[in-house]
Amino acid sequence: MENNTKTIRLTVGEAIVKYLDNQYAAIEKDGKLVESKFVELFYAVFGHGCVLGVGEALSQARHSIKVMQGKNEQGMAHAAISYSKMHDRMKIIPCMSSIGPGAANMVTAAATATVNNLPLLLFMGDSFATRQPDPVLQQIEQPYNPTVTTNDSFKAVTRFFDRITRPEMIMSSLTNAMRVLTDPAHTGAAAIAVCQDVQGEFYDYPEDFFRKRVHYIRRRKPDDYEVSQLAKAIKSSKRPLVIVGGGARYSFAGGDIAAFCESHNIPFAETQAGKSTIKSSHPLNLGGIGATGNLSANTIAAKADLIIGIGTRFSDFTTSSKWLFSQAKTASINASPFHAEKLDSISVVADAAEGIKALEMHLEGYKSSYTSEISDAARLWAEEMERLTALEYSGDDFMPENSAHMPDSLKAFKEATGGDICQTTAIGIIRGAIPDDAVVVGASGSLPGCLERMWTTDAVGSYNMEYGYSCMGYEIAGAFGAKLACPQSEVYAFVGDGSYNMMHSEMITAVQEGKKINILLFDNASFGCINNLQMEQGVDSLCTETRYRNGGDPIREGRFMNIDYAMCAKGYGFVTYTAKTADELKAALADSLKQTKSVLIDIKTLPKTMTGGYESWWNVGCSMLPRTQRGVEALDEKITRLNRARKY
């Protein structure tokens, strides 16, 4: 029988590029089908194993994809994650590395994407399928299994992994990768390892494989029975509380949730991923909840009788280690059955917007019993915000909440750096100085806690906090990715000195690509939140402050180091400022808005001046044989809290 299928002869590298150039995503939004090109950019750090093959195709084949030069494989992949987030998962930037250390560098980013349910497509060079040159440069050899390479590390941190050892395999592999990348319930990292020799081999591919493909993002509708069970629970509750998670943001459910809460007088709080889904100024918006939550949200949560999570995976920070609302029933609307059933919840497996719309039809006439509790809680937090944003260092008598365990840090830091800006005051100054619709990016340290509590924005989708993996080094790369996605917006990376030192490679790419990003570097010469954790558990400070060694061991009594980060960034081509006082910070922020080049403001921020816990708790591993009085107190507190926390 004659086969009339038209084919086109391409190398594997050419086939990958041609396929990616024809992928589109579509989703229903506001009653209309919105379509966008899924791949417009490609990111690579070229080395052996990728500079030829796929790299050759990117250089010589006909396509519309713009290729960018990464500086660190983890950094470029983090930028790609942020880019996808700002595009509500409707666009991706595929990333490619060589074999060995280049690939291993992307493992962390793959985990970051998967934990946060954000699509990330990774290609890695691999050893030769023929095995003739083995061991090839950078190849890890395992005597028990010759098929194992560095790339097997991705299996633990991806939603899809494949290794291409024959040219025709790329067809099923790319199809499956796209299935994962466009699945709201299971998206994350997809990693495809392509053997070096195979990348240059050719195959007669069906022309139809390279047709324009539109991947429809499914909006899963809920089951009537599940909706009725949740409606029944709501009707029997008096003090329900909604928690808005990232799934609500990616299903564009903010308006539906706000209307639902208004109709039934139900307050709502936000996770890190859900923040900016609904305006901060909404009267029912209590702000951040849980271990990094504020007093308003946590006060209401502690007295709620039903918690309704929408698009949240109920992480330990959201639930305050399953303690904060242990007295309440829980319910969950989530596209993922895995997440929907956490905490033994009444589960509705559905798209967030579809779930809320269906639920509304069952609740006619229902109102919660809240009277003044919501406004009272909001007023208490407003008063605390006034205090936090007005803190000023006053010398030896100055004792902010987090300084109780080591007040000498403040004086020693000021002597070394000249800085006397309180972290919470700086955040208040920044919020008042930068555009209302600015995009803010962060990830780790004490800043995510302060920002979830303190940051307010009415610009939907302008809060980009990676706090599922809390990955140090995401901040600056994430800001670059956000700027690629939102070129008309001012983008600000909130980053501590610890994360800055861990990774700031994509600053160079931002300059190279002519994309202005603003880096707000909070230099407190320490891993501040981890130092707090040490001290709170009765452990002396050890290797969490950036001090000179003072003759002995360990490093905990020497002078604080005073690093000129502004000088560092200036060398990359950034416009830079050093702010040691509140007035200097205000002046730097004002002048930075006039700049067209990327900006770094080195903010010398007093240690121990971040926000506190606000009726929350975080379950951490602590010694069951404490050697200090503070350690004994911490253990007693843990035992008391665990007796109340949920056991599942």
Q: Say if 442 falls within a structural domain.
A: yes
Q: What pLDDT, on the 0 to 100 scale, is given for residue 231? A: 98
Query: Both 268 and 373 in a single domain?
Result: yes
- Cβ atoms < 10 Å from Cβ of 590: 11
Q: Say if 609 falls within a structural domain.
A: no
Query: Both 193 and 236 in a single domain?
Result: no
Question: Are residues 257 and 248 in contact, defined by beta-carbon separation less than 8 angstroms?
Answer: yes
Place of tokens 């610009």: 459
The DSSP bridge pattern shows strands 202-206 and 213-216 to be: unpaired
Q: Say if 610 falls within a structural domain.
A: no
Question: Are residues 264 and 368 in contact, defined by beta-carbon separation less than 8 angstroms?
Answer: yes
Query: Both 208 and 228 in a single domain?
Result: no
Collect the ranges in the chain with pLDDT lower than 70.
1-3, 396-397, 399-407, 551-556
Query: Both 128 and 277 in a single domain?
Result: no
Query: Both 366 and 468 in a single domain?
Result: no
Question: Count of domains in the chain?
Answer: 4
Phi, psi dihedrals of residue 599, rounded to the nearest 5°: -130, 140
Q: At 265, which CATH number?
A: 3.40.50.1220
Structure tokens belonging to residue 57: 């195709």
Query: Both 212 and 232 in a single domain?
Result: no
Instruction: State how far the Cα of 15 lies from the Cα of 208, in Å rounded to an integer.
Output: 12
Q: What pLDDT, on the 0 to 100 scale, is given for residue 574? A: 98
For residue 186, the 8-state DSSP code is: T
Question: Are residues 205 and 15 in contact, defined by beta-carbon separation less than 8 angstroms?
Answer: yes
- The phi-psi region of residue 621 (left if phi > 0; otherwise alpha if psi is between -120 and 50; otherwise beta) is beta
Q: Say if 613 falls within a structural domain.
A: no
Query: Both 291 and 193 in a single domain?
Result: no
**Boundary of a domain, candidates 381, 400, 428:** 381
Query: Both 496 and 514 in a single domain?
Result: yes
Q: What is the extent of the structural domain holding 638?
A: 623-648
Q: Report the run of H or E that residue 263 belongs to, with start and end.
A: helix 254-264
Instruction: State how far the Cα of 376 lies from the Cα of 397, in Å rounded to an integer.
Output: 32
Separation of CA 298 from chain center: 22
Question: Are residues 479 and 86 in contact, defined by beta-carbon separation less than 8 angstroms?
Answer: no
Q: Mean of the per-residue pLDDT values for the chain?
A: 93
Q: Say if 39 falls within a structural domain.
A: yes
Which pTM value belongs to this model?
0.95
Using a CB cutoff of 8 Å and minimum separation of 24, what contacts does 322-327 make? Answer: 322/619, 322/645, 322/646, 323/617, 323/619, 323/641, 323/642, 323/644, 323/645, 323/646, 324/289, 324/290, 324/293, 324/298, 324/615, 324/616, 324/617, 325/241, 325/301, 326/644, 326/645, 326/646, 327/302
**Boundary of a domain, candidates 341, 361, 381:** 381
Q: What pLDDT, on the 0 to 100 scale, is given for residue 451? A: 97
Interaxial angle between packed helices 506-513 and 474-485, expressed in degrees from 0 to 180 and rounded to the nearest 10: 20
Q: What is the pLDDT of residues 82-129, one digit of tens each?
A: 999 999 999 999 999 999 999 999 999 999 999 999 999 999 999 999
Q: Say if 618 falls within a structural domain.
A: no
Give the up-direction half-sphere exposure of residue 69: CA atoms within 13 A in the CB hemisphere: 9
| Beta partners for residue 190, in sequence order | 121, 160
Query: Both 370 and 412 in a single domain?
Result: no
Q: What is the pLDDT of residues 520-561, one digit of tens each?
A: 999 998 887 777 777 777 777 777 888 887 766 555 678 888
∠ at Cα 515 (514, 517), nearest 5°?
A: 135
Q: What pLDDT, on the 0 to 100 scale, is given for residue 11? A: 97
Q: What pLDDT, on the 0 to 100 scale, is given for residue 569? A: 97
Query: Both 64 and 116 in a single domain?
Result: yes
Q: Say if 2 falls within a structural domain.
A: no
Q: What pLDDT, on the 0 to 100 scale, is given for residue 402? A: 59
Query: Both 247 and 281 in a single domain?
Result: yes
- Cβ atoms < 10 Å from Cβ of 551: 7
| One-letter identity of residue 589 | L
**Boundary of a domain, candidates 182, 216, 250:** 216
Q: Say if 1 falls within a structural domain.
A: no
End-to-end CA distance of the chain: 60
Q: CA torsion 425→431→432→438, rounded to 10°? A: 160
Instruction: State how far the Cα of 504 lies from the Cα of 71, in Å rounded to an integer.
Output: 9
3-state secondary structure of 525: coil
Q: What pLDDT, on the 0 to 100 scale, is given for residue 404? A: 47
Instruction: State how far the Cα of 546 lies from the Cα of 539, in Å rounded to an integer.
Output: 17
Query: Both 308 and 188 in a single domain?
Result: no
Q: At 479, which CATH number?
A: 3.40.50.970
Q: What is the pLDDT of residues 148-162, one digit of tens each?
A: 999 999 999 999 999
Q: What pLDDT, on the 0 to 100 scale, is given for residue 228? A: 97
